[in-house]
Chains A and B, each alone.
Chain A
């Protein structure tokens, strides 16, 4: 039987098909912008750029044209194509894997919510992207549930781990949660990696059953939730639970069982904490970016940690204004800048509201022009945000206020 590469929407894409499509692809494009983030097209685009060693910028299919322009990209250049100068005819998957090992210059670029309100561009080499990927015979039969946005760092990590071991990926990211248990059974999924928010949402449908075939459950992107881990243990009795600290800037860096992260020996000299307990990462572990602000070669993550011993630490909180909505980092400034464009908005403050589903959620306090009807205006603001921003950046609850709190320096107070 042909080995399946990806199952998405009940369609199975085999490795054979992937090979054929790679051989038949006539053009290369500098941008990978796929409507609805169709995973097969995204993975095909990434592997193609990798094999032919041309740089690629991966854009979230959720980006609106407006957001794309904000990134400094001309919307018309998204469809840019050049005919391949060289074509290769791969006969076997092993030839592809062999070629991947010899990659030298390839770069994959992602955009991440920046601290200045404008997303910053991060370029990664094959090395920084796959630093934590493990290739071994013992992983040959792993079957992965793919439960991340495929254009984000965490999704790329899972993709490379599975692809480089020639595993099967079962795409469950926009599947209805109700179908997930049946998919785990049908494909005998062995590995799941996702955010705490995803697990919280799928749990009601898994509750009461056990899935003995699942060997590993990985959490990433959000604060560790011990209660959730206990509940998942009951559902996946044979699974090892792993936490991963990864970022768009650095890729995957630390792993933990429970809440204590380990700094591996080869990374020790490139990780430090400041007197204020902030985690800093040396630029040699990071992707490349023009807009990354470094202090003497060190990147300040904004994450406050507590060292347990020389090589272990726990996360305390974040120092920066970034808000984590179900594993997606949002800069409230970016959202404020967009909504300030709506006629009738005099001032706006976007802040975080804690909740047990997505950890945090965006809410907005708005000072509006007095004549405007509240109900209609709420609708209009949300609609404007949905058109111009990715869905997790839409403030879900809007309150109209007469004034906004500010500090003595005039800076808004987000608490």
Chain B
């Protein structure tokens, strides 16, 4: 979760947004973190670089919790 927070904050910082304090498993990527498709693509690439997992491979990722589950291979 910490590593993911780091990745998301790096993205936010580069885009000129304020960083966030913490992540909750229930956070919705599009609604709560307001990621549009370009930012989701960016997140996917960054996570793939770090964890070697394509979180969008099956197309159905909605929350932070679902990303964590994919990274942990659950």
Residues on A lying within 8 angstroms of B by beta carbon are 176-178, 197-198, 200-201, 203-205, 207, 227-228, 231, 325-326, 353, 355-358, 361, 363, 375, 378-379, 382-383, 391-392, 394, 396-398
Across the interface, do B42 and A326 meet the contact criterion of CB distance under 8 Å?
Answer: no
Per-residue A-contact encoding for B13-45, CB less than 8 Å = 1, 0 else: 111100000000000101100000111111011
Whole-angstrom CA separation of A231 from B45 in the bound complex: 23
Return chain A residues, CB-CB under 8 Å to B59: 200, 203-204, 227-228, 231, 356
With A326-B38, A355-B44, A396-B45 given, is the CB distance from A203 to B60 under 8 Å? yes
Whole-angstrom CA separation of A361 from B61 in the bound complex: 19
Specify which of A203, A205, A361 is in contact with B38 (CB 8 Å cutoff): A361
Across the interface, do B41 and A355 meet the contact criterion of CB distance under 8 Å?
Answer: yes
Across the interface, do B42 and A382 meet the contact criterion of CB distance under 8 Å?
Answer: no
Across the interface, do B60 and A356 meet the contact criterion of CB distance under 8 Å?
Answer: no
A151 to chain B, nearest CB (A): 18
With A326-B38, A361-B45 given, is the CB distance from A176 to B31 under 8 Å? yes
Return chain B residues, CB-CB under 8 Å to A398: 14
Specify which of A204, A231, A361 is in contact with B41 (CB 8 Å cutoff): A361
Other CB < 8 Å A-B pairs besides A227-B59, A358-B38, 19 of them?
A176-B30, A200-B37, A200-B59, A201-B30, A201-B40, A203-B60, A231-B59, A231-B60, A326-B37, A353-B45, A355-B45, A355-B48, A356-B54, A356-B56, A356-B57, A358-B37, A358-B41, A363-B45, A397-B45
B9 to chain A, nearest CB (A): 12
Across the interface, do A200 and B16 meet the contact criterion of CB distance under 8 Å?
Answer: no
A-B contact number at CB 8 A: 78
Across the interface, do B44 and A383 meet the contact criterion of CB distance under 8 Å?
Answer: no
Whole-angstrom CA separation of A60 from B57 in the bound complex: 32
Q: Is the interface of A mostly helix, strand, loop or mixed?
A: helix
With A397-B45, A397-B46 given, is the CB distance from A357 to B13 under 8 Å? no
Across the interface, do B56 and A357 meet the contact criterion of CB distance under 8 Å?
Answer: yes
Whole-angstrom CA separation of A325 from B57 in the bound complex: 17
Whole-angstrom CA separation of A189 from B42 in the bound complex: 31
Across the interface, do B30 and A178 meet the contact criterion of CB distance under 8 Å?
Answer: yes
Q: Residue of B at shortest CB range from A361? A: B41
> Which 4 A/B pairs are nearest by Cβ-Cβ distance?
A357-B41, A356-B56, A396-B42, A358-B41
Across the interface, do B60 and A204 meet the contact criterion of CB distance under 8 Å?
Answer: yes
**Which of B38, B46, B61 counts the most chain A CB atoms within 10 A?**
B38
Whole-angstrom CA separation of A207 from B44 in the bound complex: 20
Per-residue A-contact encoding for B34-74, CB less than 8 Å = 1, 0 else: 00011111101110100000101101111000000000000
Q: Residue of A at shortest CB range from B30? A: A177
Whole-angstrom CA separation of A139 from B44 in the bound complex: 40
Q: Residue of B at shortest CB range from A326? A: B37
Whole-angstrom CA separation of A375 from B9 in the bound complex: 12
Return chain B residues, CB-CB under 8 Å to A391: 38
B14 to chain A, nearest CB (A): 5
Whole-angstrom CA separation of A391 from B61 in the bound complex: 23
Across the interface, do B37 and A197 meet the contact criterion of CB distance under 8 Å?
Answer: yes
**Which of B14, B16, B46 counts the most chain A CB atoms within 10 A?**
B14
Across the interface, do B14 and A378 meet the contact criterion of CB distance under 8 Å?
Answer: yes
Return chain A residues, CB-CB under 8 Å to B57: 356
Q: Residue of A at shortest CB range from B66? A: A204
Return chain A residues, CB-CB under 8 Å to B60: 203-204, 207, 231
With A356-B56, A378-B14 given, is the CB distance from A198 to B37 under 8 Å? yes
With A228-B59, A356-B56 given, is the CB distance from A325 to B30 under 8 Å? no
With A383-B16, A396-B38 given, is the CB distance from A204 to B61 under 8 Å? yes
Return chain B residues, CB-CB under 8 Å to A326: 37-38, 41
Return chain B residues, CB-CB under 8 Å to A198: 37
Whole-angstrom CA separation of A228 from B40 in the bound complex: 17
Whole-angstrom CA separation of A357 from B37 in the bound complex: 7
Return chain A residues, CB-CB under 8 Å to B61: 204
Return chain A residues, CB-CB under 8 Å to B15: 382
A324 to chain B, nearest CB (A): 12
Whole-angstrom CA separation of A197 from B13 in the bound complex: 25
Return chain B residues, CB-CB under 8 Å to A396: 38-39, 41-42, 45
